[in-house]
Structure 1
């Protein structure tokens, strides 16, 4: 009898390891590496429209490989800590094929694809992950311009450009190598005892800076910076570099409180005047209107203890019930990814340790106004909260501030926590709280 040959265990182990390596390197998780985020549009005004008739944000996936890839289970996200914020359905992408995914916050996975998030025109993170959590493609980008895409050129390579002629579902067209700038100011946002001359410069040097002083966003038709600016009173400067009719820098906003010391922390709210006063679209003029359609973009900043504590893009709405009709209205401030960061990371209130906020209120207690009088004592509401807090009761945080609305002093307000499910759950230590039975209007 002929004995069967014996294969040494070292050879068997080597063969097994080789097979495992082959499966890992050439198996189902290798092919998705040929899928990339190829182009996206974060501020779509008129380039194209989804099936709902909206000019939604979108991103384009592209298969630069030689194999057809099934996207089933892949994660698309704008949150680096949540790889599967939106999960792709089973769609096969052939070699050289493009796929448009609308970033509309509609969450649709049939026929036309819509993610459950929007893309922030202020800049953020985007990521594509394999079904097993492996990173396929990620990028972090800065501020984007309206109707100007950002994409790879040529398709699939690691060379990103602004694309003035977006090409959803087709090969990208080069926008040329564009030099981008950083806008610098000689003075930071703060309180100043006397006027001064403000210098605006760019890095690298030579950028054409356009600026406004009324809170509106500058464009290429705004005033061009040509020399030192004499600032002698409350001033808001918004500046951006433009070249060939395209923005070449992020929008920068500075607030200077000159010869006006309110003896309180300063809260600066800067927005286009039309967002407030336009008879058809302004939220102050149309104070009775509510909901998402009546939220407007703004830049908010807190100046305290001689320095700017935070500055962030946000959305603002009018807040309240009957107080909406008063001259001194309440504001609600929202932080969302479509403006910039989805949270404000700052300890706002001395009564609490909470350092992450999705929203808060600028509150002018209408109930503290004396009947038939224009005088406000601003004490009753907050005093009752302070007493209850000292007794160990659960109250929302508060901080007195002097509000400046663009370049106008708007009076004393109270920064207040927004009392919703998240607030109660956080303070009481519960994961989930239902306030629907106690909520009137929020």
Structure 2
């Protein structure tokens, strides 16, 4: 097949330009001055136009680009991919931005061009019709907001990646690259832009003039280029636990660079911090932040190392006075500092407190103390404030006492929680945000053992609030494991549930107590574990703390509203019930109907809520059961998957006074959309016979035959979490055990003795294990039977005889006949008829030598038992 190419040539500024189709070859003819001709000097008379383009009316006469002569180049002269403190858009957001420049002599209609991150040039963000004059500059915000019709600002549908990626401006027809930064622009840095040096003149090879700029200049000629980047500072000794004093050496491989360091949590700058001159003796708990600087170079990253001396930690502020550098007050927030000598000096605990520190990993938060506790901008001293404006930069280190790997990362930090933001709570929880304005845009680390997910957009650092030793007046119910155990149960059932693990938290080297890391159930979490991108998910929750409003923290509430309305209307008929699952009334798939509900997930979620006696999720007993609280639902709107529900914030569970509590409902919360919740969906679905049968099946799965809600299985999950913190609780006792003691001015002031592990925590552990976990399942079964949610026909009971190939499965029941299948189908058909492919049990079933899934039910006088499922 023959192909034809257009060929032309043109000489400009002593350079020969050859055109072969859309490809350009430039040959240097003779010495060219690096001076921009007068007629090509950029014009900056209208800086407003550079930021706020005016659209061209469709009727305007606009010159078209011609390839008969040298095409006027349209360039990306500058962009900023990590905008920490620079240009804001009209929404007051500091977004990424791209500067477009027309260096030619001819005005251009931008409708011929597009921006892209796609190397295949298929996914384009197209410019609207706009006449860009010769020498003009224009700013496009790379925010992902996708706006191009405004007369004020344009926003792309993508954001820039500070780690480096493809970026180009392209001609739409014929599809070709007008300008790009190679196949991938390099790593970007906070508030340092990248682009084309102002020394470039048309005809010069652009790659030779690419550079970083220390002072971004959107809409203006680019400023002084950087000569390079200073290498990071090296520490002679890794962070972590230390037992002996040591000499710390800081070094840097960039010749001529100066190292500055701080020990107060602030980040060193070219003007702030001590100049490093020689090794330092470190003989006590210390946080060191160091960076290197050199004129004409971008500074290094700030490196942070925390060194913990436990003999020093256990003596921190024994009189309750603030540690050096910490304030006496946190505005109106209750203040509590120090380790209680009445715990750490007690013979029963003096060694175990040291063991407790080494049992768990450490999270060390290091930051400007004013950003944490300051009167004006401190997040801790304004704990009720929320949102991006109350996020502060910090360093986070994660390390163990042993050789296990750890990490250090710069990120953003906020206070998290609802009711716990009260001023009378001295121990708040935190949320970390990994953004490229601070450092890496994601945390990449295998934080949770056994999890397939190792990258995180954010991370919660939670602490017990209700029934804690630091907040409220019910510390003697303090257990610290309730929330994690409830989430462990849901995960063990095979459902999605946020991972979490215990840790010790330090703030600028000061011990802050026992905490636990936790994934946050939002779009990035759903995308990590389920199929789809973050943009595909609707994540629904209730507004913090009050049950005032159901809203979408990601996506929208459209599908959730349809599910709630359908449930409210009624699902007694099979047509209505199965429609929620995208099925016909006979249970067969209806590909024209959307899937709104994951029935098995809803039932298992509710069985955990009921078994645990949860008084604050998803319906709050503290509102008289009129409000919902503490629940998440998520769904991929582009897949045939229904809403799944997440166990969340389960502190009001497994309580001594609630051994016989009944949380089956029905409750009024959910009658209005503002208080809609999964328990309301459950209540409405209970009208349907097929749903009730499925409830019975899930009850049998979890409450019988070593199911997860049998006492022995529950105790195994409970014991695992208790064993993790049995020594670390001593550390929490020393730090917060006296927080609820009245009229104590300092840690050494006589008063009520602090809450301790042996006298308080172990009593709650023993009660929970020996009574609640031992008796609660039987109590709940009686409640479910009384509600008619479990049939009075006994399900088949399995037993095995023989061994190996001679093994046989025997089934027994009381009244009735046992009917089973081994092809995966249910012996009972929808509507209650017998499955034609099912077999009546008469004799033990021999081992066939191949895997079999047996499903069996007992049938008696027209009634069916719950389903027995067993693999053999």
TM-score (norm 1): 0.79
SS of the residue aligned with 2:5?
A: helix
Greater CA radius of gyration, 1 or 2?
2
Give the aligned partner of residue 574 of structure 2: none
Give the aligned partner of residue 187 of structure 2: 141
Give the aligned partner of residue 17 of structure 1: 4
- In the TM superposition, residue 283 of structure 1 has moved relative to its aligned partner by 0.9
- In the TM superposition, residue 180 of structure 1 has moved relative to its aligned partner by 3.3
- List gaps (5 residues or longer) in structure 1: 1-12
Give the aligned partner of residue 196 of structure 2: 152
CA separation in 1, counterparts of 2:363 and 2:258? Answer: 30
Task: Say if 1:374 and 1:248 are closer, same or farther in 2 by CA, change over 3 A.
Answer: farther
Task: Say if 1:45 and 1:382 are closer, same or farther in 2 by CA, change over 3 A.
Answer: closer
Q: Tell me, yes or no, if structure 1 residue 209 matches structure 2 residue 259.
A: yes
Give the aligned partner of residue 170 of structure 1: 220
Q: Which of 392, 396, 404 is 1:300 aligned to?
A: 396
Q: Which of 332, 335, 345 is 2:434 aligned to?
A: 335
Task: Say if 1:310 and 1:93 are closer, same or farther in 2 by CA, change over 3 A.
Answer: farther
- In the TM superposition, residue 125 of structure 1 has moved relative to its aligned partner by 4.5
Is the 1:359–1:418 contact (alpha carbons within 8 Å) kept by the matching residues of 2? Answer: yes
CA RMSD of aligned residues (A): 3.9
Of residues 108-117 and 266-275 in structure 1, the stretch that sits farther from structure 2 once superposed is 108-117
- Larger RCO, structures 1/2 (Cα 8 Å, 6+ apart): 1
Is the 2:411–2:439 contact (alpha carbons within 8 Å) kept by the matching residues of 1? Answer: yes
- In the TM superposition, residue 369 of structure 1 has moved relative to its aligned partner by 1.6
Of residues 421-430 and 106-115 in structure 1, the stretch that sits farther from structure 2 once superposed is 421-430
CA separation in 1, counterparts of 2:178 and 2:429? Answer: 44
Give the aligned partner of residue 352 of structure 1: 451
CA separation in 1, counterparts of 2:120 and 2:388? Answer: 27
Is the 1:190–1:307 contact (alpha carbons within 8 Å) kept by the matching residues of 2? Answer: no
1:1-12 matches, cutoff 5 A:
none
- In the TM superposition, residue 94 of structure 1 has moved relative to its aligned partner by 5.0
- In the TM superposition, residue 382 of structure 1 has moved relative to its aligned partner by 1.9
CA separation in 2, counterparts of 1:330 and 1:80? Answer: 43
Q: Which of 398, 415, 419 is 1:318 aligned to?
A: 415
CA separation in 1, counterparts of 2:364 and 2:167? Answer: 34
- List gaps (5 residues or longer) in structure 2: 8-18, 25-64, 314-356, 545-552, 554-872
- In the TM superposition, residue 163 of structure 1 has moved relative to its aligned partner by 4.2
Q: Which of 39, 55, 63 is 2:78 aligned to?
A: 39
CA separation in 2, counterparts of 1:201 and 1:221? Answer: 18
CA separation in 2, counterparts of 1:37 and 1:405? Answer: 43
Q: Which of 232, 237, 250 is 1:200 aligned to?
A: 250
Give the aligned partner of residue 507 of structure 2: 405
Of residues 371-380 and 211-220 in structure 1, the stretch that sits farther from structure 2 once superposed is 371-380
Is the 1:70–1:93 contact (alpha carbons within 8 Å) kept by the matching residues of 2? Answer: yes
Q: Which whole-Å deviations, capped at 9, do the CAs of 1:77-118 have from their partners, x for residues lacking one?
A: 5x9999858554344545544322345665432333344666
- In the TM superposition, residue 201 of structure 1 has moved relative to its aligned partner by 1.4
1:253-268 matches, cutoff 5 A:
253-259=304-310, 261-268=357-364
Q: Tell me, yes or no, if structure 1 residue 113 matches structure 2 residue 154.
A: yes
Q: How many residues align?
A: 423
Task: Say if 1:245 and 1:392 are closer, same or farther in 2 by CA, change over 3 A.
Answer: same
Task: Say if 1:316 and 1:307 are closer, same or farther in 2 by CA, change over 3 A.
Answer: same
Give the aligned partner of residue 128 of structure 1: 168
CA separation in 2, counterparts of 1:28 and 1:255? Answer: 62
SS of the residue aligned with 1:384?
A: helix
Is the 1:215–1:272 contact (alpha carbons within 8 Å) kept by the matching residues of 2? Answer: yes
- In the TM superposition, residue 274 of structure 1 has moved relative to its aligned partner by 1.7
Give the aligned partner of residue 525 of structure 2: 423
SS of the residue aligned with 1:367?
A: coil
CA separation in 2, counterparts of 1:206 and 1:113? Answer: 43
- In the TM superposition, residue 176 of structure 1 has moved relative to its aligned partner by 6.8
Give the aligned partner of residue 10 of structure 1: none
TM-score (norm 2): 0.43
Is the 2:364–2:397 contact (alpha carbons within 8 Å) kept by the matching residues of 1? Answer: yes
CA separation in 1, counterparts of 2:163 and 2:368? Answer: 20
Task: Say if 1:333 and 1:117 are closer, same or farther in 2 by CA, change over 3 A.
Answer: farther
- In the TM superposition, residue 249 of structure 1 has moved relative to its aligned partner by 2.0
CA separation in 2, counterparts of 1:363 and 1:387? Answer: 19
Is the 2:230–2:297 contact (alpha carbons within 8 Å) kept by the matching residues of 1? Answer: no
CA separation in 2, counterparts of 1:290 and 1:161? Answer: 38
- In the TM superposition, residue 381 of structure 1 has moved relative to its aligned partner by 2.1
Q: Which of 244, 247, 250 is 2:301 aligned to?
A: 250
- In the TM superposition, residue 224 of structure 1 has moved relative to its aligned partner by 1.1
1:69-80 matches, cutoff 5 A:
70-72=109-111, 74-76=114-116
SS of the residue aligned with 2:167?
A: strand
SS of the residue aligned with 1:341?
A: coil
- In the TM superposition, residue 151 of structure 1 has moved relative to its aligned partner by 4.1
Task: Say if 1:65 and 1:54 are closer, same or farther in 2 by CA, change over 3 A.
Answer: same
Is the 1:31–1:67 contact (alpha carbons within 8 Å) kept by the matching residues of 2? Answer: no
Q: Tell me, yes or no, if structure 1 residue 223 matches structure 2 residue 266.
A: no
- In the TM superposition, residue 155 of structure 1 has moved relative to its aligned partner by 3.7
Q: Which whole-Å deviations, capped at 9, do the CAs of 1:39-72 have from their partners, x for residues lacking one?
A: 24554757x6656677765432234467655544
Give the aligned partner of residue 275 of structure 1: 371
CA separation in 2, counterparts of 1:294 and 1:302? Answer: 23
Q: Tell me, yes or no, if structure 1 residue 62 matches structure 2 residue 101.
A: yes
CA separation in 2, counterparts of 1:239 and 1:211? Answer: 4
